[in-house]
Chains A and B, each alone.
Chain A
Amino acid sequence: MNTTLRLKTLSLLISACLLAACGGSTTEESTAAAESATAAAAAAPAPRFADGTILFDRMPGELGYWGNPSLHSLMEKGVEVPMNEQGILSNIDDAAKVAPFMDWSLALYKHRQANGLQDDPVNVCISPAGPRHLQDPKGFRMVQDRNLDRVYLMFGGGNRNWRHINLDGREPPNLDEVQSTFFGYSNGHFEGDTLVVDSRGFNDRFWFSNGGLPHTPALVLTERFTRTDHDTLVYNVTINDPRTYTRTWEAEWTLGWVPGDIEEGFCEEGRPLAGVAQ
């Protein structure tokens, strides 16, 4: 079924290319044909392993990764507040709507917003982590290692870092007994087609969202990854940090499948992330 749809999509794409190459159509028509082919691809179901488990990464012979997040900063689900791609609010008076802040965290968020995020650790090449990596314009891959029962999240942003999610049924660590880290400790399991991940044990040496939302080492995330079709990944995260927010809260965004490979890039301290030869 998947193969049939993929072949259909491929043939549509080839047709679109041929139309353009033969000069038998205007640029607008070619674009329309390509868009039509893209729309057909969007309708393709999410690929699966032979046992029916959802495949979050590429099919054999395919190139692609997850990118183009529909939201650029953490924001409570249901709230709509205008901000730019760095998470800077159009109106600072909207700050309190973004999340259920405590007094101190709202003040710190506003402070970071007001100074244009100049204290962002990313500026000195300290990697983002937590949900922020999943809003990075450089995108990411989710590689399932079924031998080790793990999922690797491989990021194009920061310094092309990676984190892993254990799927072997182990219990989450006791926060009093683990060394906190940038990427924390992630254990996951499937609920239907959704990969549900408990992530905890973070340090507070990074910003876990664009826009400068604060967190403390008490942060615990429940992340839900759902590939709803071939081209769409829904990411839902519940944030529980009782030292920073007055209650748990939820954020959600979608990511699109980007054909091709992640652009190679490295962080140079004091400079924006530089793209290297493609």
Chain B
Amino acid sequence: MKLLKSALFIFAAALPFLASAQEGYPLDGTWRGEWGQAGGEQTLAVVVMNWDGTTINGRINPGRNTINFTSASLNAVGWSAHIEAQTREGETIVIDGVLSELGSYHRKLTGTWVSGGVENQLVLTRE
């Protein structure tokens, strides 16, 4: 318990520094959040994105069941992102979201996650 308290204290102390960095391409980095029906069960999602100058490369839930992006774009007018990815089983995932808190390290991508023909809500926060 003492250890947990210490870890929480260190995390809290570091927050001001973490909250004010990463100033490059707005989608670059690791994003974490949840998708699901409003008021219903939410599913954790981790999305990693990297801009190489021409393409936004990325993957969802890195690990054994990584889902790779098939396409992604960011429209700088309104900061809307569109991402398509495909699972190993061939299921397509479509994410549409809008960036907010652009100047913050922990900016947000809020929108929809469509999979299996069902539209869900999605909120991702940049870590």
**A-to-B contact residues, CB < 8 Å:** 103-104, 106-108, 111-112, 115, 118-119, 121, 124, 126, 204-207, 214-218, 242-244, 269
Q: Beyond A118-B103, A243-B52, is A217–B24 a contact (Cβ under 8 Å)? A: yes
- Chain B, range 66-122, C-beta contacts under 8 Å to A: 74, 76-77, 79, 102-104
Whether B76 pairs with A115 at a CB distance below 8 angstroms is no
User: Complex: how many Å from CA A115 to CA B103?
Assistant: 10
Given contacts A106-B76, A107-B76, A108-B76, are A126 and B21 in contact (CB under 8 A)? yes
Is B23 within 8 A of A242, CB to CB? Answer: no
- Give complex CA distance A242, B55 in Å: 12
**B53 at the binding interface (Cβ < 8 Å):** yes
Whether the Cβ atoms of A121 and B21 lie closer than 8 Å is: yes
B28 to chain A, nearest CB (A): 7
- Cβ contacts under 8 Å, A269 to chain B: 16
Q: A243 and B21 in contact (CB under 8 A), knowing A104-B76, A107-B77, A119-B103?
A: no
Tell me which of B26, B52, B103 has the highest count of chain A C-beta atoms within 10 A of its own C-beta.
Answer: B103
Q: With contacts defined as CB atoms under 8 Å apart, how many contacts are there between chain A and chain B in the complex?
A: 57
Residues of A within 8 A of B53 (CB): 218, 242-243
Point out the residues of chain A lying under 8 angstroms from B22, CB to CB: 204-205
Rounded to whole angstroms, the CA-CA distance of A115 and B21 in the bound complex is 17
Q: A104-B74, A104-B76, A108-B102 are in contact. Are A207 and B23 (CB under 8 A)?
A: yes
CB neighbours (8 Å) of B21 from chain A are 121, 126, 205
Q: In the docked arrangement, what's the CA distance between A244 and B76, Å?
A: 13
Cα separation A217 to B24 with both chains bound (whole Å): 8
B16–A243 CB distance below 8 A: no
| Majority-rule SS of A interface residues | loop
Asked if B20 is at the interface (CB within 8 A of a chain A CB), the reply is yes
Contact indicator B76/A216 (Cβ below 8 Å)? no
Additional pairs, 15, CB under 8 Å, beyond known A204-B25, A242-B53? A103-B76, A121-B21, A124-B16, A124-B20, A126-B21, A204-B24, A205-B21, A207-B23, A214-B25, A216-B24, A217-B24, A243-B24, A243-B52, A244-B24, A269-B16
Scan B16-47; emit 1 where CB is below 8 A from any A CB, else 0.
10001111111010000000000000000000
Bound Cα distance A242, B54 (Å): 9
Residue among A111, A124, A218, A244 making CB contact with B102, cutoff 8 Å? A111
| Residue of B16, B24, B51, B102 touching A215 (CB-CB under 8 A) | B24
- A124–B24 CA distance with the chains assembled, in angstroms: 17
Whole-angstrom CA separation of A124 from B20 in the bound complex? 7
- The binding surface of chain B is classed by DSSP as loop
Residues in chain A near residue B76, CB distance under 8 A: 103-104, 106-108
- Residues of B whose CB lies within 8 Å of any CB of A are 16, 20-26, 28, 51-53, 74, 76-77, 79, 102-104
**B25 contact set on A, CB distance < 8 A:** 104, 204, 214, 216, 243-244
- Residues in A whose Cβ lies below 8 Å from that of B26: 104, 108
Q: Cα distance A217–B28 when bound, in Å?
A: 11
Partner of B23, one of A106, A107, A214, A218: A214
Chain A nearest CB, measured from B30 CB (Å): 14
Q: Inside 8 A of B79's CB, which chain A residues have their CB?
A: 107
Q: Whole-angstrom distance between the alpha carbons of A119 and B102 in the complex?
A: 9
Closest CB in chain A relative to B53 CB, distance in Å: 4
Residue pair B51, A121 in contact (C-beta under 8 Å): no
In the complex, chain B residues whose CB is within 8 Å of the CB of A214:
23-25
A207 contacts which chain B residues (CB < 8 A)? 23
**Residues of chain A lying within 8 A (CB to CB) of residue B102:** 108, 111, 119
Q: How far is the CA of A111 from the CA of B53 in the complex (A)?
A: 20
Residues in A whose Cβ lies below 8 Å from that of B20: 121, 124, 126
- The answer to whether A216 touches B77, judged by C-beta atoms less than 8 angstroms apart, is no
Most chain A C-beta atoms within 10 Å of own C-beta, residue among B16, B24, B103: B24
